[in-house]
Amino acid sequence: MRKHLVNIDTSKTTPIYKQIYIEIKEKIDSVELTENTKLPSIRQLSMQLNINNLTILKAYNLLETNGYIYKKQGSGVFVKKREKCLYFEPPKEVLESFKGGEVIIQDNIDFVSGTPSKNLLPFDDFKEITIKILEKDGVDILTYHNTKGYDKLRYYLSKRLEQTGINISHKNIQIVSGAQQGLDLTLKVLLSPKNNKIIIAKPTYHGAINTFRKDCKIFTVNLENDGFNLDELEEILATENINFIYTTMDFESPTGISWSEEKKKKLVELAKKYKVYIVEEDCVSDLFFDKKPCPLKALDTNDECIISIKSFSKNLIPGIRMAYMIVPDELIQKVISAKFTSDISCSGFNQRILLEFLESGIFDKNLEKIRKIYKERFSYIKGLLKDSPLKLEYEIAGGFNLWLKLPEEIDVNKFYLSCKQIGVSILPGNVFYLDEGNLNYFRLSFAAADENQIKEGFNRMEKLIKKSSKKS
Amino acid sequence: MRKHLVNIDTSKTTPIYKQIYIEIKEKIDSVELTENTKLPSIRQLSMQLNINNLTILKAYNLLETNGYIYKKQGSGVFVKKREKCLYFEPPKEVLESFKGGEVIIQDNIDFVSGTPSKNLLPFDDFKEITIKILEKDGVDILTYHNTKGYDKLRYYLSKRLEQTGINISHKNIQIVSGAQQGLDLTLKVLLSPKNNKIIIAKPTYHGAINTFRKDCKIFTVNLENDGFNLDELEEILATENINFIYTTMDFESPTGISWSEEKKKKLVELAKKYKVYIVEEDCVSDLFFDKKPCPLKALDTNDECIISIKSFSKNLIPGIRMAYMIVPDELIQKVISAKFTSDISCSGFNQRILLEFLESGIFDKNLEKIRKIYKERFSYIKGLLKDSPLKLEYEIAGGFNLWLKLPEEIDVNKFYLSCKQIGVSILPGNVFYLDEGNLNYFRLSFAAADENQIKEGFNRMEKLIKKSSKKS
């Protein structure tokens, strides 16, 4: 007699649909079910197991969402090829503009960079501060600094965080060379081959996807206008042994949305309930237009489940390569060791320059200036969008990332390549997805483009759309 | 009938002793032979297989060298516990002085630091150059720089390397934040869970051991006064699927020895023969006393098997966190990607300061000065050693690392801890070994101690030895 695909146990507390999901998933993971194997239809399985159609449908939907199976119209449901479902690659031409992971911007209108254009970088302040540090700190600048980071900077940051409701000791702060290093250290500390399942949003920051691809098994949760779809999140947390949830909170790439405070709280609760870490990358929350958003870390009352990575690249100077991590007690020693084996320590010179920026108040003054400019630019863009074939998907309350929708008939990859030809750089939406994304969106960042450039950029894009629409 | 432990095949070209080694090794690796299993005696196995005693002895010696078996006086030969043979941990008190991988130096005589003492660091030059760069390069300093490194610096370095016989394109140069990052990127690029066997010297740089411990299966080869024992090296290369050989060449930590040019050539030949990479870390070869040693990379005529990591921490300024890698064509794109996911790019400011140091000739002038001082200090120490209970194990021709031998009766761990109490920092020999090291050696670095401090340090150490010798 043929063995049943699934055996359910009604005495268990696990819901039936989850039992079905887990059994099939494990058979696929262990290659007992190989790729392109046809699964029984919903009706067949429902009869075999003597349970409701809808329960099977729910299990199959979850399997499809997590990339285990695919539906073929009129033929049925099949096991998906593992590589394909895990590693979506954008078209080759698109990839080529990311050589070595870099975004190459040779075009004259830059809607890609997330860093202020040169004229907004506080160079005069930087020069003054650097000379001051050379005079004040002398040869101490040139020695090796502590692996954890320059102590005075760590103290200062812990005091500054207090004002935002985050009460942590300087001992929980690790200075790093940019947020990307924070992510890299996090992976070194949390990940192991046997415990490598993580959750990210779709869409999410493409740099994070690239970082996680090699060593993680990635699950995705839809992003809504106020944060993750938390039902989807809990589904995965309840059925998979997840290591950590990676997320950004406010105004981040690519959509620019902000999480509601309610969802932030719920996220922390879920992380605690299922004993997983949250890895939060924060590069632009300082760039709010009117109201400072509540930091996620402030909601982690027992200081146990969040690693926050906070960058100075977008809110001050990218070239200074400075960021810091807030790390729970039980992980901090491991993070310090990982920093040591990664590059010993950060440049003491750069750390001292950063501290002087902060202590002197110049950092805050500069922030005020950028906030005002970005708010004005966003309002300017909203004016342009009124009569545009481009649609804004989400309102933003800070930052510089916009998620724009193209008319249905236009393919975003082709649009991206055509834009390059007319000197406009954007990022096509699908680079922000692990699996094939929604092909009608693209990210537009206005950090490096002033109003004239924005106007010219929109003009060129709209002409292109009109031409393409006529053709198709 | 009992199955034979080993089956040999005389028709194979593999020498008999290697066949025996490989068969037993594989049985241990696959846990067919579990820890503490007694192996047949040499005589028994020799009779069983009908071959010479000495052939069995050779196989057993190799198994012992590589940590597969241990001999127990009077009882026989046993399978070694795998963790124990791979991961030697120095005594807890010694480890505690390396918290988070750092060497904590609170003592007033510093024989640990490998970086010039503050008064030897070129601070005035640094200040002048920094101000010049601020004037000259302006706001460009503050932007993101290329992941590969600042192009002008890469061009300059490739030209400079030409003068030392290394002919490579700037395309093969990756700028990194210190040599440790070079090692980290190398591991990211070369290592995989299935291909993680590497070879290091015993003794070798302790930072490298710590870096490799987590993810590598490490084999060790004895270091002689002119480089590796190459017979031991070839034994391992012939019997194990090695990924890379990690080594330093000239004046390096902890022994200060130089490889002979003959052995350097042979090493490159062996790497090519067995198709493995050599990962060479070079921090002090510039600090020769009289004659510049031939760089290993200059012997890699087809530019295919060596990754060289060259640091500016010991020969210029540690705090600037600058080093570079020379990478073969087939690996360079992977290294760039690894750099990107590690920390995007190095600080452009620091790269520009380094370039100015090099182009202005100040770097070379500074080198001359340090070389002269280190040579004088070494000669001064040789004078002190004439009537000392401490013995110099190897003459050195450059650098600042000395490998000193204590009288037989003194335990180096106890000596290290007692030295700390009397304000003298050294590094005990066993931290430079993967397995338990020779307990009679320690490393003394004279980079950060001037002649007065050296004299005082030797006085204190010798008094301690006299006291300890009396006690024992």
Cβ atoms < 10 Å from Cβ of B393: 16
B144 with A333: Cβ contact below 8 A: no
B343 with A180: Cβ contact below 8 A: yes
Region class of B82: left (phi > 0), else alpha (psi between -120 and 50), else beta = alpha
Of B134, B143, B345, the CB nearest to A127: B134
A142 with B320: Cβ contact below 8 A: yes
- Residue B405 and residue B384 share a domain: yes
Give pLDDT, residue B3: 60
- Residue B279 and residue B217 share a domain: yes
A177 with B138: Cβ contact below 8 A: no
Determine, yes or no, domain membership for B69: yes
Give pLDDT, residue A82: 57
Give pLDDT, residue A199: 97
- Residue A247 and residue A375 share a domain: no
Give pLDDT, residue A93: 55
In degrees rounded to 5, what are phi and psi of residue B222?
-65, 140
Domains in chain B, number: 3
Contact list, A351 vs chain B (CB under 8 Å): none
- The residue with tokens 């698109």 is A94
Q: How far apart are CA A116 and CA B143, in angstroms?
A: 9
Q: How far apart are CA B4 and CA B7, in angstroms?
A: 7
- Token pair for residue B457? 């340090």
Which chain A residue shows the shortest CA-CA distance from B345?
Answer: A321
B319 with A141: Cβ contact below 8 A: yes
Contact list, B126 vs chain A (CB under 8 Å): 134, 141-142
Contact list, B246 vs chain A (CB under 8 Å): none
SS3 A443: strand
Cβ atoms < 10 Å from Cβ of A131: 14
- Residue B68 and residue B97 share a domain: no
Q: Note down the domain range covering A422.
A: 92-119+364-471
List, in order, residues 6 or more apart from A213 with CB less than 8 Å away. Answer: A87, A434
| CA distance readout (Å), A147 to A40, A47, A334, B102, B325 | 57, 62, 12, 7, 22
Of B101, B143, B347, the CB nearest to A147: B101
A343 with B347: Cβ contact below 8 A: no
- Residue A241 and residue A225 share a domain: yes
Contact list, B121 vs chain A (CB under 8 Å): 139, 142-143
- The C-alpha of A174 sits at a distance from chain B's nearest C-alpha, in angstroms, of 12
Share of chain B above pLDDT 90, in %: 66
B344 with A321: Cβ contact below 8 A: yes
Determine, yes or no, domain membership for A422: yes
Cβ atoms < 10 Å from Cβ of A356: 21
Closest CA to B318 of A135, A349, A150, A137: A349
Which chain B residue shows the shortest CA-CA distance from A137?
Answer: B123
Name the amino acid, one letter, at B394.
Answer: Y
User: Does residue A142 sit at the B interface (CB-CB below 8 Å)?
Assistant: yes
Q: Which of A115, A142, A189, A354 is the best residue to mutate to test the B interface, defined by the most B CB atoms within 10 Å of its own CB?
A: A142
| The domain boundary residue, chosen from A361, A394, A428 | A361
Q: How far apart are CA A186 and CA A191, in angstroms?
A: 8
pLDDT in tens, chain A (472 residues): 346 788 888 887 788 888 898 888 878 876 778 888 889 988 889 888 888 888 999 899 888 877 788 888 888 899 887 543 333 345 555 555 554 444 444 458 999 988 888 888 999 999 999 999 999 999 999 998 899 999 999 999 999 999 999 999 999 999 999 999 999 999 999 998 889 999 999 999 988 998 898 889 999 999 999 999 999 999 999 999 999 999 999 999 999 999 999 999 999 999 999 999 999 999 999 999 999 999 999 998 776 899 999 999 999 998 889 999 999 999 999 999 999 999 999 999 999 999 999 999 999 999 999 999 999 999 999 999 999 999 999 999 999 999 999 999 898 988 998 998 899 999 999 889 987 666 789 999 999 999 999 999 999 999 999 988 776 5
- The C-alpha of B67 sits at a distance from chain A's nearest C-alpha, in angstroms, of 25
- The C-alpha of B218 sits at a distance from chain A's nearest C-alpha, in angstroms, of 17
Which chain B residue shows the shortest CA-CA distance from A186?
Answer: B342
Q: What is the CATH number of the domain that holds B151?
A: 3.40.640.10
- The C-alpha of B371 sits at a distance from chain A's nearest C-alpha, in angstroms, of 19
| The domain boundary residue, chosen from B360, B390, B412 | B360
Determine, yes or no, domain membership for A431: yes
- The C-alpha of A322 sits at a distance from chain B's nearest C-alpha, in angstroms, of 9
- Residue B115 and residue B146 share a domain: no
| CA distance readout (Å), B127 to A345, A366, B130, B135, B243 | 22, 26, 5, 13, 44
Burial category of A194 from C-beta neighbours within 10 Å (exposed 0-12, middle 13-18, buried 19 and up): exposed
Give pLDDT, residue A449: 94
Give the residue ranges of chain B where pLDDT is below 50.
Answer: 1-2, 83-89, 99-105
- The C-alpha of B91 sits at a distance from chain A's nearest C-alpha, in angstroms, of 19
Which chain A residue shows the shortest CA-CA distance from B334?
Answer: A100
The helix or strand, by DSSP H or E, that contains position A413, with its residue range, turns out to be helix A412-421
User: Does residue A147 sit at the B interface (CB-CB below 8 Å)?
Assistant: yes
- Residue B386 and residue B350 share a domain: no
Which residues of A, range 349-388, sit inside 8 Å of B by Cβ?
A: 349-350
Give pLDDT, residue B102: 46
Which chain A residue shows the shortest CA-CA distance from B346?
Answer: A321
Q: What is the CATH number of the domain that holds A41?
A: 1.10.10.10
- Residue B465 and residue B379 share a domain: yes
SS3 A391: strand
ipTM surpassing 0.85: no
Which chain A residue shows the shortest CA-CA distance from B118?
Answer: A139
Contact list, B335 vs chain A (CB under 8 Å): none
- The C-alpha of A434 sits at a distance from chain B's nearest C-alpha, in angstroms, of 17
User: Does residue B1 sit at the A interface (CB-CB below 8 Å)?
Assistant: no
Q: How far apart are CA A45 and CA A7, in angstroms?
A: 11
- Residue A281 and residue A178 share a domain: yes
Determine, yes or no, domain membership for A10: no
User: Does residue B311 sit at the A interface (CB-CB below 8 Å)?
Assistant: no
Determine, yes or no, domain membership for B132: no
List, in order, residues 6 or more apart from A155 with CB less than 8 Å away. Answer: A170
Which residues of B, range 89-118, sit inside 8 Å of A by Cβ?
A: 100-102, 115, 118
Give pLDDT, residue B86: 32
User: Does residue B401 sit at the A interface (CB-CB below 8 Å)?
Assistant: no
Which residues of B, range 317-356, sit inside 8 Å of A by Cβ?
A: 317-321, 333, 336-337, 340-350
Of B121, B126, B147, the CB nearest to A100: B147
Q: In A121-267, which ranges are E strands?
A: 173-176, 197-202, 217-224, 227-228, 244-247
The helix or strand, by DSSP H or E, that contains position A323, with its residue range, turns out to be strand A323-326
Cβ atoms < 10 Å from Cβ of B262: 11
Which residues of A, range 182-221, sit inside 8 Å of B by Cβ?
A: 184, 193, 210-211
Give pLDDT, residue B89: 46
Determine, yes or no, domain membership for A5: no
- The C-alpha of A324 sits at a distance from chain B's nearest C-alpha, in angstroms, of 13
The helix or strand, by DSSP H or E, that contains position B446, with its residue range, turns out to be none
pLDDT in tens, A391-400: 999 999 999 9
Q: What is the CATH number of the domain that holds A379?
A: 3.90.1150.10
Of A130, A144, A313, the CB nearest to B318: A144
Give pLDDT, residue A347: 95
B123 with A142: Cβ contact below 8 A: yes
- Residue A197 and residue A104 share a domain: no
User: Does residue B15 sit at the A interface (CB-CB below 8 Å)?
Assistant: no
Q: How far apart are CA A160 and CA A174, in angstroms?
A: 15
Global pTM reads: 0.81
pLDDT in tens, B293-341: 999 999 987 768 999 999 999 999 988 899 999 999 999 999 999 999 9
B142 with A126: Cβ contact below 8 A: yes
pLDDT in tens, A213-240: 888 999 999 999 999 999 999 999 999 9
Sheet holding B391-392, edge to edge: B391-392, B401-405, B441-445, B427-428
- Residue A154 and residue A108 share a domain: no
User: Does residue A425 sit at the B interface (CB-CB below 8 Å)?
Assistant: no
Give pLDDT, residue A85: 31
Determine, yes or no, domain membership for B56: yes
Determine, yes or no, domain membership for B3: no
A348 with B180: Cβ contact below 8 A: no
Question: What is the DSSP pairing of strand B323-326 with strand B391-392?
Answer: unpaired
| The domain boundary residue, chosen from A320, A345, A361 | A361
- Residue A337 and residue A202 share a domain: yes
